[in-house]
Structures are given as structure tokens and as C-alpha cells.
Amino acid sequence: MIAIIGDPDTAAGFRLGGVKEVYEYSPEGGEDVARIIDKLAKEEVAIIIVNERLAADARTREKIREINTKKKGVIPIIIEVPDKEGPMKKEIDEIGQLIKRAVGVAVK
């Protein structure tokens, strides 16, 4: 199963694409986002797509790192997507670290 957590515009786009598990939040809703990510991970959702601006919240970022560190396999895959304002600059490439952990090679 695929789930999306995003702003209203991102959520609408994924609904049009057929995703049924859609959680709509504003960028100020970071606390709820961390709780929803934790819930989805426990339900063994295969792919969790999160809007970058929502994932930038400190509590949400910590929850994503915690899930990625503790998981035994590759599920859940947590993917951060940009919103309509475009991609954000990041200090750490979360997807790159996940690939390096799974494959053992850094991908650039």
C-alpha cells in the first residue's frame, strides 16, 4: 500500500493519481505528521510519501530517521517529494543514505 502526507495541492495530485491513503496537512502541522508516519510504519505501509516542507519539522525528521534506523528490511520506504514551490536544500540526503545502507555503495 502507498500513503501520502502532503499539503492540499500535493494531496489532490496524488488523489487524482489513485492513491487512497491521503493525509492532508499544512506546513505548520509537523507534530501530527510524525504521529501519522509512526502509525503508517506500524501498519506496514510499503511506501510513505511525505511533502518535504512537512518532513522538515524537527520532530518529523527525527521520526523518519528513527524508522529508517530501526527497520529490518526495506519497508517502509519513506520518500520526500517537493511541493509546488520546488525542492528544498537539504543538509543530509536521506534517500542516498538509505540506498547506501541497502546496497553498500554511495550513489551520486
* pTM score, whole prediction: 0.76
Q: What is the mean pLDDT of the chain?
A: 84
Residue 36 has a CB neighbour count (10 Å cut-off) of 21
Q: Degrees (nearest 5) of the Cα angle 39, 50, 9?
A: 120
pLDDT at 29: 60
Question: Which domains does the chain show, CATH number per domain?
Answer: 2-103 (3.40.50.10580)
Whether the bond between 8 and the residue before it is cis, its omega within 30 degrees of 0, is no
Higher pLDDT, 47 or 69: 47
Would you state the pLDDT for residue 31?
65
Distance of alpha carbon 19 from alpha carbon 12, whole angstroms: 10
Sheet with 77-81, side-by-side order of all strands: 21-24, 2-6, 47-51, 77-81
C-alpha 73/C-alpha 49 separation (Å) is 18
